[in-house]
């Protein structure tokens, strides 16, 4: 399979290494310094684009590929206010777009555990819910896309919580789920969900040991999506 990498930072390099180890060919490695090279590529020679770039470049990169009917697997966070437009373009061009805030199989199991725990805790009003996420200092957005996905899972189950907010040290609103975002090297990603009361605490967490799990998941999805159409997610890939 011929893969175009849109974004060639640390994640892009690991994705490229894993893809090549699985017998795929990398036909382009695009970053901010060589984006003009896209115009030299033949779309017919690209089976899938894997996009792990930056929030301010994601929409342009994804649109370039979708307009040429190249399926896209995207993991960039911080741009999702534009996702409805990308979804509409995907359907118009009759290609495929796959987005996940995290491609780790373990994290996606953790998403399911998080939603199930929230469903059990929805009527336990003595418990205060909060979240903490820790990433390396090069991560641009806060909170992380994974933390936002976890928060949306909780908000979908616990009606008394109306929104998530990034913790800023001010007095907390009981109707908001507060997320503490820390940037500490070399942490690849830790997410902790806490339910705290005067009697006890309940805590679930996921800690990544490296980026390899994220990268392998992205390559597996690229292999799976090659001949598909539509707007897809990890629930489709894992049949949750």
| Cα separations in angstroms, 174 against 55, 112, 130 | 31, 24, 11
The residue annotated as part of the active site, out of 83, 93, 122, 135, is 135
Contacts of 188 (CB under 8 A, 6+ apart): 135, 136, 208, 209, 210, 211
Contact in structure between 113 and 157 (CB atoms under 8 Å): no
Neighbour count for residue 98 (Cβ, 10 Å): 27
The residue annotated as part of the active site, out of 44, 128, 136, 139, is 139
Cα–Cα distance, 106 to 206 (Å, whole number): 8
Cα–Cα distance, 156 to 170 (Å, whole number): 25
Query: Would you call 44 a catalytic residue per the annotation?
Result: no
In DSSP terms, which residues pair with 3 in a beta bridge? Answer: 26, 48
- The two most distant CA atoms of the chain are separated, in Å, by 64
Contacts of 76 (CB under 8 A, 6+ apart): 7, 51, 52, 53, 54, 55, 57, 58
Cα–Cα distance, 26 to 4 (Å, whole number): 6
Query: Would you call 135 a catalytic residue per the annotation?
Result: yes
Q: Name the residues annotated as catalytic.
A: 135, 139
């Amino acid at each position: 399979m011929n893969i175009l990498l849109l974004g060639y930072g640390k994640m892009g390099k690991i994705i490229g290494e894993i893809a090549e180890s699985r017998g795929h060919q990398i036909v382009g490695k695009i970053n901010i310094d060589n984006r003009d090279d896209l115009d030299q590529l033949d779309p017919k020679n690209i089976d899938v684009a894997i996009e792990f770039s930056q929030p301010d470049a994601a929409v342009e990169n994804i649109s370039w590929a979708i307009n040429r009917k190249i399926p896209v697997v995207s993991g960039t966070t911080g741009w999702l206010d534009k996702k409805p437009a990308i979804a509409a373009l995907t359907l118009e061009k009759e290609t495929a777009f796959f987005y996940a805030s995290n491609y780790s199989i373990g994290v996606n199991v953790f998403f399911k555990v998080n939603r199930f725990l929230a469903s059990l805790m929805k009527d336990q009003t003595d418990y205060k819910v909060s979240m903490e996420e820790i990433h390396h200092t090069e991560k641009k957005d806060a909170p992380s896309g994974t933390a936002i996905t976890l928060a949306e899972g909780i908000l979908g189950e616990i009606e008394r919580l109306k929104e998530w907010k990034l913790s800023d040290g001010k007095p907390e609103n009981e109707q908001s789920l507060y997320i503490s975002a820390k940037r500490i090297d070399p942490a690849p990603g830790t997410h902790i969900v806490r339910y705290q009361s005067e009697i006890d605490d309940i805590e679930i967490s996921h800690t990544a040991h490296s980026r390899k799990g994220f990268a392998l998941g992205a390559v597996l999805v690229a292999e799976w999506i090659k001949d598909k159409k539509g707007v897809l997610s990890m629930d489709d890939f894992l049949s949750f």
